[in-house]
Amino acid sequence: MNVGTADVAPQTRYRRQLRGADFSLEANTESVPRDGHFYLMQGGEIKLRSDSFSEAVDAYNGLCKSYWKEHLQSEAHEERMASAWGLISLDSGHPEAIEVIRNDGTDKDVARLEQLRRKSRFAKRGPAFGRKPKE
């Protein structure tokens, strides 16, 4: 599952950041030039400048994945669960995230996880699954 792949026009003001993280994805904000490029910022520095929203989101998602993996074993239940759900949003089969949700989540969390995983498996089969071939 890939989150955030819808395109954003280069002239749009855009900012995306995880609470507590030192990185963000921005375009046309006060923190970056208003030149129609997408910027991946980390620690107040430009790490990537791109004309492609998809490329910028992929780089941002890579930082999110690293951040969530680091916080998956947090002592704070809310942070641990948020990290697990973040990882699941990028990879519905992420084994460590699945384990956290199954062990630390509510029955409702586990049901939601299984529903997302079923949807993901079904989507991977493609639209022709279960249909008779055209003759």
pLDDT at residue 24 above 60? yes
The predicted pLDDT at position 119 comes to: 87
The predicted pLDDT at position 4 comes to: 44
Domain ranges of the chain: 7-63, 72-125
CB 61 within 8 A of CB 90: yes
Model confidence over 76-133: pLDDT tens digits? 999 999 999 999 999 999 999 999 999 999 999 999 999 998 888 877 776 655 555 5
Q: What is the pTM of this model?
A: 0.81
Distance CA 67, CA 72 (A): 9
pLDDT at residue 65 above 80? yes
Distance CA 117, CA 124 (A): 11
Percent of the chain residues past pLDDT 90, beyond the cut: 75
Percent of the chain residues past pLDDT 70, beyond the cut: 87
Q: For helices 53-71 and 77-90, what crossing angle results, to 10°?
A: 140
The predicted pLDDT at position 127 comes to: 64
Per-residue pLDDT, averaged over 60-87, amounts to 97
The predicted pLDDT at position 130 comes to: 56
The 3-state DSSP class for residue 120 equals helix
